[in-house]
Structure 1
Amino acid sequence: MSEAVPMVEVTRGGMVESIHRGHAVVWDASGGLVRAWGNPGLVMYPRSSCKMIQALPLVESGAADAAGLETRHLALACASHNGAAIHSDLAAQWLAGLGLGEPDLRCGPQEPADIPARDALIRAGETPCQLHNNCSGKHSGFLTLNRHLGGGSEYHETDHVVQKAVRAAFEEVTGVESPGYGIDGCSAPNFATTLEGLARAMAYCAAAREGQGTRETAAARLVQAMSAHPELVAGEGRACTALIRAMQGRGVVKTGAEGVFVAILPERGLGVALKIEDGTTRGAETAIATILAGLGVLDPSNPVAQSYLNTPITSRRGLAAGAIHPTAALTSGW
């Protein structure tokens, strides 16, 4: 088994203060493994990075079209959003169109990460609800699929018809029989796979084209939705939204908790999956930006790219103190 490799350094005063180690895989949909760091066979939880895979049954079953879902709904189904008004309002409208409401969700309430939304709740004397949960779009998709399949109300349970459909799609596109699952923050099961399997699934989505079969059409539609609505995938100030915009149609990215990040690159037919061993977001953001730049789908001179490739650390008075940047192990060989 290959050990995690140093991917990201945090420097202060000219000295390396912290190192984020990790694993990453670049997979070609037609040719297999392109490049790997660390252990491609690492068994891990994708967490929210696989939401587009969890949304495949929603589209390929016909449930999305039967419910009249638009591209923006599909983007929200793949999102880990900030709970801003554009997110929670869309989720509420989506549920209302199904004849359902916030109590039908099973994701749990969450304080919005979006500051204006949070402050509006405080001023109104209201508490956060499930619509503010970063997974409310995914769960609205589950409810849409559930109505189509005629399942019971507890759609988040592992033996429910919805989650059985999700697991089947997940195992088929990763090419790996899942060894088990963990309960995600939104209470839905998160099926484990290998890092290579996750990259393979992203490459499948990258190569998918509409009209080339039910599943490929579903995957292509979800990727196009994320590309068309980066503001719904995460939100302002978030890496997913910023990097999708900066790639200018060359691909999409999706974060997951505990240092996971994936990329789907249709222009190249490539899928990328990475896991930072210590679970830090800052390490994962720098690592994915570095790989995207190395693959030629992100201009390293773009200000957004620069903000992740060489993130300045300043004191509270604004004095330059250090930086977060990729290691030579990650930048060499491109």
Structure 2
Amino acid sequence: MTQAVDLVEIWRGGRLESWHQGHAVVVDEGGDIIEAWGDPEAVTFPRSSAKMIQALPLVESGVADRFGLTSEQLALACASHSGAAIHTDRVQRWLADLGLGNDDFQCGPQWPQDIPARNGLIKADDSPCRYHNNCSGKHCGFLTLSKANGWGPDYVEIDHPLQVLLKQTFEELVEESSPGWGIDGCSAPNHASTVHGMARAMATFASADDSTTRGAAMVRLREAMMAHPELVSNTDRACNHLMRAAKGKVAVKTGAEGFFIAIIPGQKLGVALRIVDGATRASECAIAAILCKLGVLDAEDPAVKAYRNPVLKNFASLVTGEMRPASTLA
């Protein structure tokens, strides 16, 4: 087994202070590895980076059209949002359209990552609701599919018809039998795969076209993500900034514990990476570096440099160091 390799470095005072290791893979439309760092066959949980796979049955089945879902709602189904008003207002409207409410969610309440939304709750001496959960858009998709099929309310149980369908879809896309599953932060099952498998799934999304029902559904989901990057994350986060900097060339999606994916339709490439210590700052730096290598992002774009080569400052706003891709990526 190939070991994890250095992907991101932290420098201070002209010295290498610390570093983040990981695995990363770039795959073409045939599933072949174009370039890899570390061990492509490392097995891990993709976490929220798999949300477009989890949203696929919603669209592929025709349920999205039956319920008149918009591209904004499809973006939210793929989102790890910040609980800002732009997210929660839309989630609550979606719930109302389903004739459902906050208590129908199986995800737990979560304090918003969005500062104005968080401060608004604190000032009102209020508590977060389940619709503030960063996965509430995904769960709206789950509830929609469950309602359309008359399935029961316990939709996060591993033997629920929804989760059986999602596991089947996941294994078809990664082209592997998942070796196991764990419970995600939103209470839904998350199935493990190799990093190569997730990159292969993203390459399938990248090369999809309207010639098949599944392909058309993939196109709609990746296009929704690129059209509404602020709904996929928030206006102040990496997914939004990197997709906007790419100007329609890529859909990206973060996942907890240092996972990140990219879907590159113009080159029919998929990317997946995992930082082994789970650091989000490193996964953001690494995905930006890989997308620059592939010509999708401009390394000199200030929005890109903020993730690929950010300066590090202390509480007095003095520059104390920098984060940058390791030589293997740079």
TM-score (norm: length of structure 2): 0.99
Query: Are 2:291 and 1:320 equivalent residues in the alignment?
Result: no
Structure 2 Cα separation of the partners of residues 186 and 308 of structure 1: 27
1:51: how far off? 0.2
Structure 1 Cα separation of the partners of residues 315 and 47 of structure 2: 33
Structure 2 Cα separation of the partners of residues 71 and 77 of structure 1: 10
SS at match of 1:258: coil
Give the residue type in structure 2 aligned to 1:10: I
What value does the CA root-mean-square deviation take over the aligned residues? 0.8
| Cα contact 1:58–1:145 (8 A) shared by 2 | yes
Structure 2 Cα separation of the partners of residues 237 and 31 of structure 1: 33
1:320: how far off? 1.4
| Cα contact 1:149–1:161 (8 A) shared by 2 | no
Structure 2 partner of 1:22: 22
Structure 2 Cα separation of the partners of residues 236 and 8 of structure 1: 25
Structure 2 Cα separation of the partners of residues 34 and 186 of structure 1: 34
The share of aligned pairs that are identical, in percent, is 56
Structure 2 partner of 1:158: 158
Structure 1 partner of 2:298: 299
| Cα contact 1:290–1:309 (8 A) shared by 2 | yes
Structure 1 Cα separation of the partners of residues 234 and 228 of structure 2: 10
Structure 2 partner of 1:247: 246
Instruction: Provide structure 2 residue ranges, at least 5 long, that are not aligned to the other structure.
Output: none
Structure 2 partner of 1:234: 233
Structure 2 Cα separation of the partners of residues 124 and 215 of structure 1: 45
Give the residue type in structure 1 aligned to 2:206: A
Structure 2 partner of 1:274: 273
Query: Are 2:92 and 1:77 equivalent residues in the alignment?
Result: no
Query: 1:88-237 alignment to 2 at 5 Å?
Result: 88-210=88-210, 212-237=211-236
1:20: how far off? 0.2
Structure 1 Cα separation of the partners of residues 68 and 102 of structure 2: 19
Structure 1 Cα separation of the partners of residues 116 and 107 of structure 2: 22
Give the residue type in structure 1 aligned to 2:2: S
Structure 2 Cα separation of the partners of residues 185 and 315 of structure 1: 31
SS at match of 2:271: strand
Query: 1:36-55 alignment to 2 at 5 Å?
Result: 36-55=36-55
1:194: how far off? 0.7
Structure 2 Cα separation of the partners of residues 233 and 217 of structure 1: 20
| Cα contact 2:259–2:278 (8 A) shared by 1 | yes
1:63: how far off? 1.2
Structure 1 Cα separation of the partners of residues 161 and 61 of structure 2: 13
Structure 1 Cα separation of the partners of residues 76 and 308 of structure 2: 27
Of 59-68 and 289-298, the range deviating more from structure 2: 59-68
Give the residue type in structure 2 aligned to 1:140: C
| Cα contact 2:31–2:203 (8 A) shared by 1 | no
Structure 1 partner of 2:256: 257
Query: Are 2:289 and 1:290 equivalent residues in the alignment?
Result: yes
1:31: how far off? 6.0
Structure 2 Cα separation of the partners of residues 225 and 309 of structure 1: 25
Per-residue CA deviation, residues 13-38 of structure 1 (Å, 9 max, x unaligned), is 11111110000000001361101101
1:119: how far off? 1.1
Of 24-33 and 244-253, the range deviating more from structure 2: 24-33
Per-residue CA deviation, residues 212-257 of structure 1 (Å, 9 max, x unaligned), is 1111111110000000000100002210111010000001100000
Structure 1 Cα separation of the partners of residues 141 and 178 of structure 2: 22
| Cα contact 1:12–1:323 (8 A) shared by 2 | yes
Aligned length: 330
